[in-house]
């Protein structure tokens, strides 16, 4: 079975990426064989389309409500046959896998389309394409087209498998607002060495870039009555932070995990700013406060904390409730902290609560009541024995986020990377205001914190014939209360995208739907049960209307002989 053509075609228009992967396979054997199509795609993406055509006959994938698809599938297939087509493979990726039996000399073409909104982190967007054909491919090509009306500030490509020969197959063209990256290695260039038919193409192909930013109130783009507003202020004074690290040192953290935690904490301590205040709480079945109050991040205090971190060992149970309430207590009692500052708790744990209060719902309630909206809680779950659902709900209910730390060689870097994302808060209480009577379906428009290097994105539908879209941003910076105003000329803005040849139609409407679904699903995690149902119903409706495979929908993949398989979107919480 030979893959004779593999084409990855990716169009990024104003951070919204639309990727089509086409694989053409021929069976050169004498009898029928399995042809397999395997794609790893970013977890943040939604699959929007899949089809396979065998000798000219097209078998489409049909997106339905999950429960309905499951029932239909169960009746079509005796239980226990297929294990689903999509699974999480690592920190950033999930894998779509489908195989079909094709006759001798037959050809099959697989085509998968997915979309995602690129998220700005630490000052750049990252487009990740996983390359793993597992064989030499006669016609192999990656095409990335980027169009950013704000202008491209910088652009770089990076790959885990490049050699000098392969670099020759990579070309990059770029002007003010557009870029085209083409990677088209010949069969010879793909080979590990001239004798063996083994491929070098195995790993990540990454494009990173950022856009130019001039306007103070961000940038507004409009297509077919839908707008998107990007806001990422730069070079503003940083708020001092008051941060408490709550570190699990129960028995299950023994060995590599506690070592990686120590390594990461030592680096993070070096990254604290002089005006920050910090403290540590470590816990197993006992909760130990390093100091009874927060200390300024002077050289001396940081050195003393580093000495404590060096001695961290792991044994005993897991008293999450006690540890978090102790952290809130330290912040509540704190005196002499900088007047305009941001307080946060960063919890790192690898297990379930086994000491003290064990009921996760009670812990969530206790913590939310204690924090009372005053501090942000970030939860890092180390490995797969944690209840990620519990950590995610707790973080989202308290103005933070959760992240799973994968037990790989780079776990310490994952921890540090997370800290860097939240290390520089530059705005608080951000409100993005638009004319109420002229906008429908507005996505989330108020935000507690804005960290340097990230980006706020708001989208909506302009309902009546507006000529000018006025926006107003209110926020607190470290030195003042800000009000920023901007007016977008709707007709002019629409013009920008009129004659671009590789824009995919109504991309801002799809961007709006993608963002709305993501936010509804996130909101549902920390909502009460009846609200949860309403939020999920809205998200389901949009998922079906815009044909996205989300955690609420399934794609029924049809095959020859009336066979069917299901593709579901996995979530980090399982």
Mean predicted confidence (pLDDT) in 112-135: 96
pLDDT in tens, 1-13: 899 999 999 999 9
Note the pLDDT of residue 497.
Answer: 82
pLDDT in tens, 196-207: 889 999 999 999
Residue 141 has pLDDT above 60, yes or no: yes
Instruction: Specify if 57 maps to a domain.
Output: yes
Instruction: Specify if 227 maps to a domain.
Output: yes
Q: Which of 379, 451, 554, 381 is nearest to 119 (CA)?
A: 451
Within 8 A by CB and 6+ apart from 287, the residues are 281, 319, 322, 323, 326
Instruction: Specify if 538 maps to a domain.
Output: no
Under the banding of pLDDT at 50, 70 and 90, the label for residue 176 is very high
Report residue 231 as tokens.
Answer: 């806001």
Instruction: Specify if 449 maps to a domain.
Output: yes
Residue 565 has pLDDT above 90, yes or no: no
High-pLDDT (> 70) share of the chain, %: 97
Under the banding of pLDDT at 50, 70 and 90, the label for residue 250 is very high
pLDDT in tens, 479-490: 999 999 999 999
One domain for residues 13 and 132 = yes
One domain for residues 287 and 155 = no
Q: Among 380, 406, 423, which residue terminates a domain?
A: 423
Under the banding of pLDDT at 50, 70 and 90, the label for residue 63 is very high
Note the pLDDT of residue 179.
Answer: 96
Q: Report the relative pairing of strands 468-476 and 446-451 from DSSP bridges.
A: unpaired
Q: How many domains would you assign to the chain?
A: 3
Q: How far apart are CA 390 and CA 312, in angstroms?
A: 25
Residue 513 has pLDDT above 50, yes or no: yes
Cβ density class 499-537: b for 16+ within 10 Å, e for less:
eeeebeeebbbbbbbbbbbbebbbbbbbbeeeeeeebbe
Question: Average pLDDT of the chain?
Answer: 92
Instruction: Specify if 566 maps to a domain.
Output: no
Angle between helices 256-271 and 411-422 (to 10 degrees): 30
Under the banding of pLDDT at 50, 70 and 90, the label for residue 499 is low
pLDDT in tens, 374-428: 999 999 999 999 999 999 999 999 999 999 999 988 999 999 999 999 999 999 9
Within 8 A by CB and 6+ apart from 505, the residues are none
Residue 83 has pLDDT above 70, yes or no: no
Within 8 A by CB and 6+ apart from 388, the residues are 381, 402, 404, 572, 573, 574
Mean predicted confidence (pLDDT) in 176-196: 93
Residue 251 has pLDDT above 90, yes or no: yes
Q: Are 250 and 318 in contact (CB under 8 A)?
A: yes
Instruction: Specify if 414 maps to a domain.
Output: yes
Q: How many residues does the chain have?
A: 574
> Which residues span the domain enclosing 64?
2-212+554-559
Query: What order of strands is seen across the sheet that includes strand 125-131?
Result: 125-131, 203-211, 152-159
One domain for residues 376 and 269 = yes
One domain for residues 388 and 290 = yes
Report residue 385 as tokens.
Answer: 């024995």
Residue 259 has pLDDT above 60, yes or no: yes
pTM: 0.94
- Rounded to 10 degrees, the C-alpha dihedral 163/168/169/175 comes to 120
pLDDT in tens, 528-562: 999 999 999 999 999 999 999 999 999 988 888 77
Mean predicted confidence (pLDDT) in 473-478: 96
One domain for residues 353 and 287 = yes
Under the banding of pLDDT at 50, 70 and 90, the label for residue 148 is very high
Residue 506 has pLDDT above 90, yes or no: no
């Amino acid at each position: 079975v030979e893959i004779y053509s593999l084409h990855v075609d990716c169009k990024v228009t104003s951070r919204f990426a639309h990727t089509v992967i086409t694989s053409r396979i021929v069976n050169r054997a004498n009898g029928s064989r399995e042809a397999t199509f395997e794609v790893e795609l970013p977890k943040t993406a939604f699959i929007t389309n899949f089809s396979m055509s065998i000798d000219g006959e097209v078998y489409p994938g049909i997106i339905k409500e999950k429960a309905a698809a499951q029932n239909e599938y169960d009746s079509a297939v005796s239980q226990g046959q297929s294990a689903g087509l999509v699974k999480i493979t690592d920190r950033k990726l999930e894998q779509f896998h489908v195989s079909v039996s094709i006759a001798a000399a037959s050809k099959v073409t697989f085509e998968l389309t997915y979309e995602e909104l690129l998220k700005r982190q630490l000052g750049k967007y990252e487009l990740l394409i996983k390359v793993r054909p597992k064989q030499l491919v006669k016609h192999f090509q990656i095409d990335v087209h980027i169009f950013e009306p704000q202008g491209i500030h910088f652009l770089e490509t990076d790959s885990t498998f490049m050699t000098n020969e392969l670099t020759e197959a990579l070309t990059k063209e770029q002007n003010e607002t557009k870029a085209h990256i083409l990677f088209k290695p010949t069969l010879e260039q793909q080979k590990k060495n001239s004798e063996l038919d083994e491929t070098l193409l195995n790993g990540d192909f990454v494009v990173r870039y950022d856009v130019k930013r001039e306007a103070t109130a961000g940038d507004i783009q409009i297509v077919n009555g839908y707008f998107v507003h990007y806001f990422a202020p730069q070079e503003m004074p940083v708020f001092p932070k008051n941060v408490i690290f709550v570190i699990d040192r129960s028995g299950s953290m023994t060995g590599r995990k506690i070592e990686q935690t120590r390594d990461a904490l030592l680096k993070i301590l070096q990254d604290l700013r002089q005006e920050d205040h910090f403290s540590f709480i470590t816990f197993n079945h006992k909760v130990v406060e390093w100091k009874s109050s927060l200390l300024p991040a002077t050289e001396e205090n940081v050195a003393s904390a580093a000495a404590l971190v060096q001695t961290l060992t792991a044994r005993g149970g897991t008293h999450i409730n006690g540890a978090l309430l102790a952290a809130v207590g330290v912040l509540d009692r704190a005196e002499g902290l900088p007047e305009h500052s941001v307080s946060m708790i960063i919890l790192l744990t690898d297990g379930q609560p086994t000491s003290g209060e064990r009921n996760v719902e009670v812990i969530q309630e206790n913590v939310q009541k204690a924090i009372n909206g005053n501090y942000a809680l970030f939860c890092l779950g180390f490995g797969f024995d944690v209840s990620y659902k519990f950590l995610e709900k707790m973080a989202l209910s308290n103005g933070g986020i959760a992240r799973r730390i994968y037990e790989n060689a780079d776990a310490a870097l994952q921890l540090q990377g997370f800290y860097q994302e939240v290390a520089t808060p530059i705005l608080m209480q951000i409100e993005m205001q638009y004319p109420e009577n002229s906008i429908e379906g507005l996505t989330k428009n108020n935000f507690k914190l804005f960290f340097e290097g990230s980006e706020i994105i708001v989208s909506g539908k302009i309902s009546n014939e507006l000529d000018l879209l006025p926006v107003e941003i209110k926020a607190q910076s470290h030195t003042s209360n800000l009000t920023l105003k901007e007016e977008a000329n709707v007709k002019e803005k629409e013009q920008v995208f009129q004659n671009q040849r590789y824009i995919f139609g109504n991309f801002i409407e799809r961007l709006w739907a993608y963002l709305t679904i993501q936010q509804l699903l996130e909101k549902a995690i920390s909502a009460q049960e009846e609200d949860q149902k309403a939020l999920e119903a809205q998200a389901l409706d949009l998922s079906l209307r815009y044909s996205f495979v989300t955690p609420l929908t399934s794609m029924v993949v049809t095959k020859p002989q009336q066979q069917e398989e299901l593709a579901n979107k996995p979530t980090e919480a399982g």
